[in-house]
Amino acid sequence: GRYSTHFIDDHPELVADADAWAERQEVMRRLVRDPARAAAIAAAVVNA
């Protein structure tokens, strides 16, 4: 079948949301690679 980007063109916020989600996931991946930093951030958030 043929695919169209017509729906995406009509809903640019979906692309923006997907980009924002990808950025958040990248931050989480970085924290997982650096557990000490993740623990420090978690402690700072809890104590804030």
Domain boundaries, position 21: 6-47
In a domain, 1, yes or no: no
pLDDT at 37: 83
The answer to the question of residue 26 being in a domain is yes
Taking only the tens place, the pLDDT of each residue in 4-46 is 777 778 888 888 888 888 888 888 888 778 888 888 888 998 8
Residue 11 has phi, psi (to 5 degrees) of: -135, 65
Enter the tokens of residue 9.
């063109």
Residue 13 lies in a domain: yes
Length of the chain counted residue by residue: 48
pLDDT for res 33:
84
Number of domains in the chain: 1
Is 20 a domain residue?
yes
37: which residues sit within 8 A by CB, 6+ positions away? 31
Find out whether 38 and 32 touch, Cβ atoms under 8 Å.
yes
10, 4 in Cβ contact below 8 A? no
